[in-house]
Every structure is written in C-alpha cells, then in structure tokens.
A and B are shown apart, each in its own frame.
Chain A
Amino acid sequence: MTTTELPRTVTEAPADKVTHVVIGQRVAKIEGVDKVTGKALYGADTSRPGMLWGKMLPSPHAHAIITSIDLSAARALPGVFAVITGADLPGIVARISETDLTPEEFDTPSRGKQILAWKKVVFFGQPVVAVAAVTPAIAEEALALIKVVYEPLPVVVDPEAAMRPDAPLVQNAVFTETFSGKATTPSNIAKVTELSRGNVDEAIANAEVTVSGTFRTAMVHQGYIEPQACLAEYSADGRFTIWTSTQGQFGVRGGLSGFLKIPPRRIRVTASEIGGGFGAKGAMTLEPICTLLAYSAGRPVKMQLTRSEVLRATRPAPDAVMHVTLGARTDGTLLGARAAFIWDVGAYPGGGSVGGINCGFGPYIVPAYSYDGYDVLTNRPSTGAYRAPNGPQGAFAVESALDMLARKLGISPITLRLRNAVREGDRNPSDVPYPRIGFRETLEAIENHPVWASPKATSSRPGWLRGRGVACGLWGGGVGTSMAHVNIGEDGSAVIVTGAVDLAGTRTTMAQIAAEELQIPFERVNIVQPDTDTAPFNNPTGGSRLTYSLGTAVYRAAIDARTKLKQRASQQFRCPADEVDYRDGEFWVRSDPSIRLTIGQVARSAAGSGDGPVVGTGEVTHLLRAPAFATQLVEVEVDPETGAVQVVNVVAAQDVGRAINPTACEGQIQGGVVQGIGWALTEGYVYDEQGRLRNPGLLDYRMPTALDAPNIECVLVEVPAIDGPYGVRGVGEVPIVPTPAAVANAVFDACAGRVTSLPLCGEPVIVAMSDSRTGVDRSQMVMFNLGPIPTGNSSAPESPGEEPKLATEVEDYCAEDDVAEPEIE
C-alpha cells in the first residue's frame, strides 16, 4: 500500500510558507500575564463557601488483607463530616444513582473502581479510608484515630519474580490475556502480546553479526510540580460540580458518569489551569472520591495530594526488563530482531503492551522480527501514561543494542541508522504503513551539525572522561475528537471557544492558527476554555494530539467564520458572495475595490441582522496519524572514580512538520530532553523487601535541577505531515524517547562501560566499567518458561507446581555467551 491511497482529512494543501504571516512566528504565550502574576487558577486555587478538606489514609503495607476497620473515634471527632471506606462505595453510589448496585461490581481488579482498597491492599500507600473535615488538621487528626487491622500477605515487587508460578498473587482474579483467549487460572501475568513478521529464527541464524543484551529501567514518575487537586460540590438538584486539574474535562465527566452511574448532564466539570500532566492527569485520581465525600458530607470538599501521596499512589510509568537481539549483515543492514519485554504494570492491569516496541523497532526496516510482551502485576502502584508512554524504555533497549552493533561493525552510529531508517510506505511493527515522514532528515541534521563534525573535546574536569552518543526516537502521533468555535466580535476580533485543556502552550498556537486564517493580527485573537456545560466537546489532551487535532478544528472554524463573514458582507454589498474578496481584515467587491467593509463592520451589522452574530465552527473526529521522529546527540562527562555523570551538551533534531511557534516547539523539546536525562541519570523508585517506597519525596526521588540540565540546541526539521493544517505534527511526546539511550551510549563512548540499567549515575557506571575490563557479560536475561498459557480453549492447563526453566528462545540467545547461573534456582 502506498501512501497515496491513505485518506486525507484536510484537503487544503499545506500553504506556501512564504504566505504565512502568523504561523511560524515566535509570539508570546497568550496566557503569559496570568501565569507570571499569580492570577492563573490551578487545581488547588479554587475555594467554595462552607468548604471541607478531604484526606485519605494510606496503607502501611504493600500487600495485606484488611481484617477490620474501626472508625468510631474518627466519626466522633468534632468537625468531621464524612468517613468512607471501600466497603461503603457500593452503598453511596447506589444512593446517588438510585440504582440497585451489588458489591460484586467493585470486586473486580480495576483501579478505577477500587478508588479505596477493596478487602485487601495491593500496594504501599494505597488509600484505605477517606475523610472530610472542616480543616486539613482535623481531617488528619481523624485519620490518626482510625484503627485498621491488617493481615500481611507475601509481597512481590520484582516483575521477574512475579512471573514465577509460585509468586504471591497480587490480584485473585486476573487471568492472563492473550490474542487467543484468556487463561483459566489466575496469574500475575496480566497480558501477553505477541507480534511477529517473517522468520526471525532464520534471519538471525543467517546474520553475519549479532548483538544482544538485557536492559532494565526503573519505575519513574511524571514529576509534575502540581500535585493532583480537586474540588467537588453536590447540589440538592442532583447535580455535581467539579473543579479539577486534569488533561481532559470531558474525560472526567464521562468517567464520573460511569463510576456514579448517572447521566453526564448531572455533572459539570471545570478543568483548572494544569500544573503539569505529562500523561498522568489523563486518568482520574481524586475526582471520584472527592465527589463521594462531597455527597456524603453535604458540603463542598477540596482535596490535594501531598507529594508523598503523588509518588506513592498515583500512576507512575512502568519499569521494564527488556531483552533484545539484533542480527545484521556486515554492512549494517538489519536482517532480524527479537525482543522480549517485561512490563511491571503495578498492582492493577493496564499500562504495558505494544507502545514500547512500536517506538523501539518502529524507526527501522526489520524484515523479520518477533516481540513477546508481558504485562506483569506487582505490589507497586498501578502504572499509567508518561510522555510517549513506554517509548523511552523500548528505545533504551533497541538504541543501546544498535550502538553495540555499530561498534561491533566499526561504522558510525548515524550511518547504521541511515542504512536501516524507515521511509514513507514502510510498515511499523504493528504493520501500519508510514505516511510522509522526516526521520532521515533528523539523522542528516545531526550528521551535518558542527558538534558531530568537530573532534570530541576533553573534559575540563581533571580525571573526567568525555563521550558522545546518538539515539533516535519515534512517536506515532495522537488523534481524537476536537471541536472549536470561533466567535467574531463587533470590533473584528475573534475568541476561540474550546473544551480542550492546554497543557503548556496550545492556546497560543490555536490563536496563531485563527489569526492566520482570519487574516487579523494575533493580538486580536483570544481563546477561552470554559466548562463542560459550555464548551464544545474535546477528547483529553494527550499523545501530542492537540496542535494537530484541535488545530484542525480551529483551522476549520476560522475558515467557516471567514466564509460566513463573506456571506454577510455580500448581503451588505448586495452582490453574490463569490464576487466578494477578503484580505487582511477587509472585504470588497471584486469589480469595485474602492468600497470596503472591515471585518468589524461586517460583524457589527451581522449581529443586528436576521442571521445573527458570526460564529464559525470546526470539528474533527479522526485524522491520519502524523508520526514524529527525533535524533539526539548527547555529550556527557563521566567521573571514573565515582560513576558520576554530567550531561554537558545536547543537540536535538526533530521533525515537527511545521513549527507553528518555534519557541513553543523548542520548549517542548528541551523539556522532554531534561525529563529523559532525569530518567537516564537519577530518577527511579526504590522499594524495600516489604514493598515500601523508600524515596517518596523530591529530595530522594531526584529530578534534574537547573544545574543538572545542559544547554540544549534544537534543530527543527520541517517535513510536512500529509494531514492536518500546514503540515504540522505533534511535538511534545517524542523528545523524551531517544534521550536515555543517547545518554547511555555517550557514557559508553566516554568510559567503555555498557550500562544496561537505569538510572545509571554512580554504581551502574562503575560496574559497567569493571565488567568491560574483566570481560564479564551480565547482559543476558533470565526468563521463565511460561509454557502455553492455559486459555479457555486449551485442553491441558499447565500444572502450577512445575519447576520453571529457561525459555528455549532465551537459551538460544544465551548459547554463544558466557552466562551466569540462572537466578531462579
């Protein structure tokens, strides 16, 4: 299938760049003044008269049965208005929805249902009881008066250990899901994903050179600076009003509607200004429990997570154990690739699957490949989306292996990637053909960059070693429903009305698009994001979809407004609309350009006419995905004594399609790179054997500061996407994807130590350097033979007590290497 057969949704061809006036300009952020003066209202900044404060009691255990809960003292404390446990959930929802609700509905392994622990706790810090009281201090005092008796259960926090048949079961009712069906006995392996193309065994057997390795990443947090916060109010007319920090107010309305079993018309959600989301605020966190507390207390309730709650009990990104084998010809042409990825998705299913491999193998032509993905439950918080979900993990494994291959072959890492880079028409691992893409252009941008062309500098720090690494990344692009209205004011201004949430700059780019299409100055455009009762529908913001999808809706709404204005102008000119011309805010009749009407005059007269004021509308439900590629060059300095690593320089090339606002594009890229640096160097959850998180604070969960962040030069490559306005592509996700691998590759270049686990600062660097000197290879993964997953269709379920052994394909991986004894004995 060639791309010419792919459907295009926006038929207006990307206009000649030269004709653009506002597109491509570095205009200042439209909501900037509110944000620098403290006027912007975030999740915790709204209050209501008579408001109470909600707090939740966290579980001190990672895995335990709740034997009893004594709430009497807490309920008796003056100032306490509501106390809710998991067992109370069905009754409250039944009262709100006036439906018969059986407790069994909550007896399901769903984080969204079990907003408070249900019969047992499955991760450290899981909320067990929620209270609402007149002050935060009284709410905390009430929590301290609650007596919960737990019966601790064995804990499993390591995903490989959790795959063993004798591992403690995190959930009693999770059955392995495969493409062929569902298993009949419960397991911590929630899902197995198998993808393949061609004969990978043959391809690797015929390869002239192979490399393989096992790569590990830690569980990391999105690290938004604003903890989740929510305010809920119930009114006697049966309606709920919610103010919350979310990436999607309509998503919250829909989610609450489903949870409470009431129609959406009874729920009004206002998305506050959002203090960082990065995927994490695409799912509900506080909204359901805050709503139930407000209903139970009969007063508005505000909740705000503490930082330790954010780290312990929201939805971080899964850690992964990833084995990759690559087979190639001596000229670097890839013949086959094999991958087995284990995703630690935490205590509830969801969060792993194919994203990692689509990002990992996606940039390359791999004639034969296989991928086995395992979503594994552990006694950790269930996981969720974090900027290009699972892409950085997959790319860390694949891009590290490519670096190993390049070194083994003695060719440049850029040459190797260019040799195998996908082009338009090639298919991704999920077999979807790529439309027009700009991957090679990003590689060439780095290859031609002065930093790559210049000799490597020596470190200015005595004894430190300097190295340079390259890695690539892909994000497939986000799509979804967006709508916008463009109201034309009687002064010729425009106000965009949308229900989408702006995470970090899309209000400005939307205003640029409207200004461009209406041909009015940027300063005359404003944009508002009212609540779900007022604003047109939008899917949540995520997956780098907003500038692409909402941009299309705004583009169409602006053109619709312009068309309507032309119609109204023609009525005033008393001529057919197709004889009216428009440019830069003025209408005239083609035959007599001397008589002109301004856009304001037309809008004013339209407002009083029978047709009413001019409102343009635009909507989009589905665009063709616009994949975005990035190549990054990272320079590091390594202290061989301590393993300390400092990233000193980054050049980040990215195909942005068309930069609506280069400053905003650069900001997204720089932010993503620094998150990737944190992932590579210092960020990671640390659990003890009892499954307690040892670093639930920002001192010990170490995110990069201004002193850790390097200079980051952005190279904006513009290969227009074939759908959407101006050729624009989503920008936000992909810059985080290559960074951890690029850092690790640079560390190898500096000190000859191949670091295979993140975060790498310190000991992993020292160990890798020592292994390199002594020839130890720790790169092989120990994996358990899962055997056939017993599904409903399967005739002979595997006996649970069987001794685990290495999977045959892993034995193949290991055959030529010096492997230590399996750790499973």
Chain B
Amino acid sequence: MAKMIVNVEVNGELQELLTEPHRTLLDLLRDNLSLTGTKEGCGSGDCGACTVLIDGRPVNSCLVLAPEAEGRRVTTVEGLAEDNKLHPVQTAFIEEGGLQCGICTPGMLISAVALLRSNTEPSEQSIRYAISGNLCRCTGYDKIVRAIEVASKRMKANAAIASH
C-alpha cells in the first residue's frame, strides 16, 4: 500500500511521519515515534488505555486513523511532565495509590488532565464520569478518584498562589 506523510505535533514537537493510511494514530505514536507510554488494551475504543489529547480533548488513539492526525496537536503521557517536573495529577496518582499494575495509568492520567483543564472543582461524580471510558482492573477506581480530587485541590491552591 502506498505510504503517505502525516504532519503532526506530538508533545510540542513537529513530526513528519511516513505511514500507510490504514494505520492508527496509536501505531504512529508507538511504532514510528517509540512513544510506548500510550497502551493498546482493546483496539476498539472500549478500554481507554490509548487515550491521548488531540487539540486538548481526550480521544482513543486506536480509533483515529493516522491521516486524521494531520495538522493536529497531540499530547501523550510522555508529554505531561514539564522540565522533569511531574504534573500534579501524576504526583497525586503516585502518592494516593492511584495505580497498581499501571497499564491503564497513561490513559487515566490523560482523561484526568483533560477534566481538570475544563473543571477545576470536579465533584466525585464528574470525576467518575470523566474516567468512565478508562477501564482499570486493579484498583477498583477508588484511589484513582481520590488522587484526582487531591490533584484538583492542589492545582487550585497552586493557581491561587500564582495569582498573588
């Protein structure tokens, strides 16, 4: 099959990637860029392990064809920490026991970051709703929900300090 070039910004870097058109954004990230932090759990959009941000919105990258990523801005789990400093959501997941095996964690973190960008004070129910597309089989979700609550409080406090 003829290959094509896809231009996409991944974690702040412009990439020019050669791919067959039937491959997915998930394949591009994992195979072309070796960004294996984004996981494949089902390949059909049911588990959320492959969740990335596309132009700031959480999307199952296994359901996005590579050419559809043309001109888009993609953020993966590898792009959450800045200057070797963890994102508050990442820190909270570690501290609150919000991960066990860790396979759902990248997608879970992306969904949490997307939520907290649009809702700085989410209720427990809205947190559960925001991550309901991300299956976790280890934690029973409880500590993930707590971690996102802790992160939202910290981010709010940090924002308050920054605005002073």
> How far apart sit A222 and B101, CA to CA, in the bound complex (Å)?
14
Q: Given A29-B97, A45-B36, answer yes or no on A226-B142 (Cβ-Cβ < 8 Å).
A: no
Chain A: minimal CB distance from B153 (Å):
18
**B100 contacts partner chain A, Cβ-Cβ < 8 Å:** yes
B77 close to A671 (CB less than 8 A): no
Q: Main SS of the interface on chain A? A: loop
- Closest chain A residue to B35 by CB distance? A38
A225 close to B44 (CB less than 8 A): no
**B149 contacts partner chain A, Cβ-Cβ < 8 Å:** no
Q: How many residues of chain A have a CB within 8 Å of chain B?
A: 59
> How far apart sit A674 and B104, CA to CA, in the bound complex (Å)?
16
> How far apart sit A698 and B50, CA to CA, in the bound complex (Å)?
14
Tell me which residues across on chain B come within 8 A of A712, comparing CB atoms.
140, 142
> How far apart sit A41 and B41, CA to CA, in the bound complex (Å)?
15
Tell me which residues across on chain A come within 8 A of B127, comparing CB atoms.
706
Partner of B97, one of A227, A306, A667: A667
Q: Given A37-B77, A137-B20, answer yes or no on A667-B143 (Cβ-Cβ < 8 Å).
A: yes
- Closest chain A residue to B136 by CB distance? A225
B41 close to A225 (CB less than 8 A): yes
A503 close to B94 (CB less than 8 A): no
**A764 contacts partner chain B, Cβ-Cβ < 8 Å:** no
Q: How many residues of chain B have a CB within 8 Å of chain A?
A: 57
A709 close to B143 (CB less than 8 A): no
Partner of B38, one of A38, A276, A668: A38
**A101 contacts partner chain B, Cβ-Cβ < 8 Å:** no
Chain B residues numbered 27-64 whose CB sits less than 8 Å from any CB in chain A: 30, 34-44, 46-47, 49
**A666 contacts partner chain B, Cβ-Cβ < 8 Å:** yes
A29 close to B99 (CB less than 8 A): yes
A225 close to B139 (CB less than 8 A): no
- Which of B30, B95, B102, B105 has most chain A Cβ within 10 Å? B102
Q: Given A225-B135, A705-B135, A706-B145, answer yes or no on A35-B99 (Cβ-Cβ < 8 Å).
A: yes
- Closest chain A residue to B133 by CB distance? A705
**A304 contacts partner chain B, Cβ-Cβ < 8 Å:** yes
Q: Given A224-B137, A705-B132, answer yes or no on A307-B42 (Cβ-Cβ < 8 Å).
A: yes
A275 close to B102 (CB less than 8 A): yes
Chain A: minimal CB distance from B56 (Å):
19
Tell me which residues across on chain B come within 8 A of A699, comparing CB atoms.
44, 46
**A711 contacts partner chain B, Cβ-Cβ < 8 Å:** yes
> How far apart sit A368 and B35, CA to CA, in the bound complex (Å)?
61
Partner of B101, one of A34, A137, A276: A276
B86 close to A674 (CB less than 8 A): no
> How far apart sit A588 and B95, CA to CA, in the bound complex (Å)?
36
B99 close to A671 (CB less than 8 A): no
A307 close to B41 (CB less than 8 A): yes
Chain A residues numbered 639-663 whose CB sits less than 8 Å from any CB in chain B: 663
A37 close to B44 (CB less than 8 A): no
Chain A: minimal CB distance from B39 (Å):
7
Partner of B137, one of A39, A225, A273: A225
> How far apart sit A39 and B99, CA to CA, in the bound complex (Å)?
14
Tell me which residues across on chain B come within 8 A of A547, comparing CB atoms.
none
**A297 contacts partner chain B, Cβ-Cβ < 8 Å:** no
A223 close to B137 (CB less than 8 A): yes
**A492 contacts partner chain B, Cβ-Cβ < 8 Å:** no
B140 close to A671 (CB less than 8 A): yes
Tell me which residues across on chain B come within 8 A of A276, comparing CB atoms.
101, 103, 137-138
- Closest chain A residue to B92 by CB distance? A36
Tell me which residues across on chain B come within 8 A of A703, comparing CB atoms.
135, 137
Tell me which residues across on chain B come within 8 A of A504, comparing CB atoms.
100-101, 138
- Which of B42, B86, B128 has most chain A Cβ within 10 Å? B42
Q: Given A41-B36, A699-B44, A703-B135, answer yes or no on A709-B101 (Cβ-Cβ < 8 Å).
A: no
> How far apart sit A31 and B144, CA to CA, in the bound complex (Å)?
17
- Closest chain A residue to B31 by CB distance? A47
**A670 contacts partner chain B, Cβ-Cβ < 8 Å:** yes
> How far apart sit A668 and B99, CA to CA, in the bound complex (Å)?
11
Tell me which residues across on chain B come within 8 A of A137, comparing CB atoms.
1, 20, 22
Chain A residues numbered 609-645 whose CB sits less than 8 Å from any CB in chain B: none
Q: Given A224-B137, A276-B138, A712-B140, answer yes or no on A36-B99 (Cβ-Cβ < 8 Å).
A: yes
Chain A: minimal CB distance from B17 (Å):
15
Partner of A37, one of B34, B78, B132, B133: B78
B-binding residues in A (CB < 8 A):
26, 28-29, 31-42, 44-45, 47, 137, 222-227, 273-278, 304, 306-307, 503-505, 663-664, 666-675, 697-699, 703, 705-707, 709, 711-712
A-B contact pairs, 17 of them (CB 8 A): A32-B94, A32-B99, A223-B137, A224-B103, A275-B39, A307-B42, A504-B100, A664-B97, A667-B140, A668-B100, A670-B139, A672-B140, A674-B141, A697-B42, A698-B44, A706-B127, A709-B128
4 closest residue pairs by CB, A with B? A38-B37, A275-B103, A670-B140, A35-B102
